[in-house]
Amino acid sequence: MRADDELVALRLLVDRRDELSRARTQTINRLHRLLLELVPGGAKRFLRAAQAKAILDAITIAADDVAGRVRHQIAYELLTEVTTLDRKIKDSDKTLRAAVTATGTNLLDLNGIGPAGAARILGDVLDISRFATRSRFASWNGTAPLDASSGDQKRHRLSRAGNRRINRALHIMAIVQIRTTPPAGPTSAAASPPARHPWKPSAPSNDASPTSSTGNSSPTPKQG
C-alpha cells in the first residue's frame, strides 16, 4: 500500500468519526427536548447515556397522559440510538489510534491531540513538504492572522479562510494545553508582589478636633 493511500484511508476514517459525532450531538439534542417536557428543568447539558436512562427510569407517567407516554417511548428510542452511537464512536477511536500509530507519527505525543485530531492532520495535510514555510502552512490552515491596520493603527484579526477542519483540530489542542498547563508565576516569595491593603476611609476632620491639621488650628503656646 502506498503512503498516499494510507493517508487517504485515515481521512476516510476520521470523516466517518466526525459523522458519528455529529449524529450523536443531534440525537442528544432531541433527547434533551423531550426531557424538558417530561422532567421539570430537563437534564444537565452534558448528558451521558447512563444518566439519561436513570432519569427516564424514574419518570412516572399518568395513565391518562397519552402524549406523555409517547414522549417517554420516543425518549427511550433516542437513548438506544445514543448508546449505539457511543459504541461506534469508541470502536472508531480504537481504529483511528491503531491507524495513526502505524504511520509512525509522534502527533499523539502532543498534549491536546487525540486519534481523531492526528488522523485529521495527517489525512488533510498529506505531504507537509508541499508547504515551503511555516507561514504558508499557517495561511493554509487559517491560523495566520490577517492584517487589519488602518493608518498609523496596527492591528490584526482572525482569519476565517483556510482549512477549517485542521483549524479546529489545532484550536482544540490549544484550548486543552491552556486548561491543563499551570500558569507561569513567581517562584519565590521575593518575586511576589507586595500585598495591597484594602483602602479604608478616614474619619471626617473637624476644626474643633485636636487631631485636625487644617490651617484654622491655633498653634500650641510655648511655656514660659
The pLDDT-based confidence of 200 (bands split at 50, 70, 90) is: low
Average pLDDT in the chain = 82
pTM of the model: 0.67
Give the per-residue pLDDT at 128.
Answer: 84
Query: Residue ranges of the domains in the chain?
Result: 3-146+158-180
Per-residue model confidence as pLDDT tens digits over 205-223: 555 444 444 444 455 555 5
CB 173 within 8 A of CB 181: no
CB 123 within 8 A of CB 141: no
Give the per-residue pLDDT at 202.
Answer: 55
* Alpha carbon of residue 34 to chain centroid: 26
Per-residue model confidence as pLDDT tens digits over 122-174: 988 888 888 888 888 888 888 877 777 777 777 767 777 778 888 888 888 88
CB 64 within 8 A of CB 56: no
* Alpha carbon of residue 135 to chain centroid: 26
Give the per-residue pLDDT at 212.
Answer: 44
Residues contacting 219, CB < 8 A, separation 6+: none
| Separation between Cα atoms, residue 213 and residue 2, nearest integer Å | 91
Long-range contacts of 127-130, Cβ-Cβ distance < 8 Å, separation of 24 or more: none
Per-residue model confidence as pLDDT tens digits over 78-87: 999 999 999 9
Category of 151 on φ-ψ map: left (φ > 0), alpha (ψ -120 to 50) or beta: left
Give the per-residue pLDDT at 137.
Answer: 84
Is residue 46 predicted with pLDDT exceeding 70? yes
Give the per-residue pLDDT at 203.
Answer: 56
Per-residue model confidence as pLDDT tens digits over 105-121: 889 898 999 899 999 98
